[in-house]
Amino acid sequence: MADSSKTERATEKKRRDERKKGNIFHSRDVVNAFGFALMVFALRLAAPLILSYSKNMMTSRLLMLRGADSLSVTSAGNIIKDLFISFLLLVAPVGLLAAACAVILTGVQTRFLFSMAKLKPQLARLNPANGFKRLFSLRSAVELLKALIKVTIIGSVVYSNLKELLTDVAKTPTMALTDVIGFLARSVYDIAMGIAIYIALFAIADYLYQWWEYEREIRMTKQELKEELKQTEGDPQIKARIRDVQRKMAAMRMMRRVPDADVVIRNPTHYAVALKYTPGEDDAPIVVAKGQDYTALKIIEVAKKHDIHITENKPLARGLYEGAEIGMPIPEEFYKPVADILAYIYRLRKSKNSRTG
């Protein structure tokens, strides 16, 4: 019986894992029912050939007996052996067809899975207690009920058909031998096909039941879903740690580019954006670093250490922080104020160089 705590539908990973273990659902009744129906239908098609061949075989053997001076045990045995072999050769193709049908129907249901997992020896199977539990389990009760239903179906079909044939059976003494054989063949075929149809309907119901039972057995608990999520997507704590390391590495790379900046625009400690502009190469100033709070203070600290010009402009610093991306040109709406700042910086540099010269 399935665990009542398993309330969640199985995930695709769970299904793949169960399949690798060889735990898949399929209905043996589907294989048996449709294999039986195919065999009956094939025998019906091959019946004229079988009867004709059997008639010719019997005729030839009777002629042999008539022409023989005496019938020995050996010759009689050879005749019976030849008839038996001939019958097997006639029926063998039908049997092979039924076997092929069974393989195909099983393969279609299991998607042609062949797993060695089920063949591995398991000590639990040798435990008498486990065997006792399986004997009185719900599955065993269902299998017993299914067997009873199939016996009832077969018995009912055979009984109803024989009941209708009683009047015709009484006429067989007055019929020719070939007519009797034909009558019996048709009667057997009708009974067999009746059984096949009802068993096929039962097999379809069993297939649906097997699917429902399998889905119920592989259901998962909420805890199993959480564990699988951790395995599939990674532990949230580990992922958070990885993201933290990635942020720190990105911050370190960003800080190494601050000394290349032309200006750092701040507000005054909450935001800081470092810009670089190379005339003739860049269409607009490029954001080489930006940060908020602690990162902003670190950018300002590095800028001071490398004598990068720092200017305070609260709205511009915040606007660049929110609207510009690292490594990308600044948005067009910031061209004018940034150009004014850069022009001022270039004038200071020019004035300083002229004094130095």
Residues 264 and 200 in one domain: no
Q: What is the mean pLDDT of residues 167-175?
A: 73
Residues 58 and 190 in one domain: yes
Model pLDDT, residue 28: 85
Model pLDDT, residue 66: 61
Kindly report the average pLDDT of the chain as a whole number: 79
Nearest Cα residue to 265 out of 342, 181, 172? 342
Lowest-pLDDT range, 10-24, 164-178, 198-212, 293-307? 164-178
Q: Are 62 and 236 in contact (CB under 8 A)?
A: no
Q: What is the mean pLDDT of residues 243-270?
A: 85
Residues 117 and 262 in one domain: no
Residues 184 and 297 in one domain: no
Residue 126 lies in a domain: yes
- The residue type of 136 is F
Q: What is the mean pLDDT of residues 174-192?
A: 77
Q: Is the pLDDT of residue 122 over 60?
A: no
Residues 182 and 325 in one domain: no
Residue 315 lies in a domain: yes
- Residue 122 DSSP label: -
How many CA atoms within 13 Å lie on the side-chain side of 274?
28
Residues 264 and 311 in one domain: yes
Last-in-domain residue among 199, 217, 235: 217
Residue 221 CB partners (closer than 8 Å, separation 6+): 3, 5, 6, 7, 8
Lowest-pLDDT range, 118-127, 177-186, 282-291, 344-353? 118-127
84 or 160: which leads in pLDDT: 160
Determine the structural domain holding residue 202 and report its residue range. 24-217
Each residue of 72-81: pLDDT tens digit?
A: 666 667 767 7
Residue 227 lies in a domain: no
Q: What is the distance of C-alpha 239 from the center of its chain?
A: 28
Residues 184 and 255 in one domain: no
Q: Are 225 and 6 in contact (CB under 8 A)?
A: no
Q: What is the mean pLDDT of residues 92-103?
A: 80
Name the token pair of 282: 């860049």
Last-in-domain residue among 217, 239, 258: 217
Residue 240 lies in a domain: no
Model pLDDT, residue 41: 83
Residue 92 lies in a domain: yes
Q: How confident is the model at residue 246 (pLDDT cuts 50, 70, 90)?
A: confident
Residue 46 lies in a domain: yes
What distance in Å separates the CA atoms of residue 204 and residue 193, rounded to the nearest whole number?
A: 16
Residues 43 and 115 in one domain: yes
Q: What is the mean pLDDT of residues 35-62?
A: 76
CATH of the domain at 346: 3.40.1690.10
Q: How confident is the model at residue 6 (pLDDT cuts 50, 70, 90)?
A: confident
Model pLDDT, residue 112: 73
Residues 179 and 70 in one domain: yes
What distance in Å separates the CA atoms of residue 224 and residue 146, rounded to the nearest whole number?
A: 34
Q: What is the distance of C-alpha 180 from the center of its chain?
A: 55
The count of structural domains within the chain is 2
Model pLDDT, residue 52: 76
Q: Are 30 and 204 in contact (CB under 8 A)?
A: yes
Q: Is the pLDDT of residue 116 over 80?
A: no
Name the token pair of 353: 């160089």
Phi, psi of 8 (to 5 degrees): -100, 140
Q: How confident is the model at residue 101 (pLDDT cuts 50, 70, 90)?
A: confident
Q: Is the pLDDT of residue 61 over 60?
A: yes
Model pLDDT, residue 148: 92
Residue 10 lies in a domain: no
Residue 145 lies in a domain: yes
CB atoms within 10 A of CB 297: 15
Beta-bridge partners for 220: 8
Lowest-pLDDT range, 111-120, 309-318, 320-329? 111-120
Residues 84 and 43 in one domain: yes
Residues 145 and 33 in one domain: yes
Name the token pair of 231: 């395995």
Model pLDDT, residue 188: 85
Residues 185 and 288 in one domain: no
Model pLDDT, residue 152: 92
Region for 114 from its dihedrals, namely left if φ exceeds 0, alpha if ψ lies in -120 to 50, beta otherwise:
beta
